[in-house]
Amino acid sequence: MCGRYALTLPHDAMAQVFSAAPANDLPIGPRWNICPTTQVPVVRGGNGGRALVSMRWGFLPTWYDTPTAGPLLINARAETIARKPAFRDACRSRRCLIPATGFYEWTKTAEGTRLPWYFHDPSGAPLVFAGIWQDWGPDRFATCAIVSCAAGPTMAEVHHREPVTLAPSDWALWLGEGEGKAAPLMRAAPPDRIVRYRVARAVNSSRAEGPELIDPLVDDGDK
């Protein structure tokens, strides 16, 4: 699962990494505590090539009358994405890349205290989540969700789900630019792609921001 993440790459760097034309309305960054329902940078394909655009994180099916007419769909399960009415069309034809510097997940103490962990690529390269998108409403407001799968070894000790992360060699296939089926890409990351460490509980607040949120926790007295 993924319910919070960080993105510190500048827009021009993302445009270069993904060979994508940047839109003019990209959300201001960097961000160290991105929460659902906010606008996030997303890479999508098309006949004119790749574009780096802004989308609301929180997928809105076409039959929602309002953004709050149903559950908040920030993740789409890989195991059922091709069958769920909300996601199946997007899974076939509206796939996207959602870049991140890293993401957060939580464990709990016996007393119920939530302890945050930060997951990232050990090389410092961005993580790229497999995503799907959907235009919603008369203004065709773009929305997206992150595809999740059963957790791999790195993630399983913290949470039973993880976001599907894509290697650069898989980006074109996920976007529908290459030959082959994208379904095999919806799997847990190899052990060398993601590492984790504890961070301070300040990130537990959705209002918290700043680079200190991803600093490794040195003093465990913060528990």
| Chain center to CA of 68 | 21
Residue 220 confidence class, pLDDT cut points 50, 70, 90:
low
At 195, the pLDDT band (50, 70, 90 cuts) reads very high
Question: 49, 51, 50, 53: which is closest to 39 by C-alpha?
Answer: 53
**Residues 39-53: b if buried by 16+ CB within 10 A, e if exposed:** bbbbbbbeeeebbbb
Q: For the chain, which domains are there?
A: 5-106+125-192 (3.90.1680.10)
At 26-53, the pLDDT tens digits run 999 899 999 999 999 999 998 889 999 9
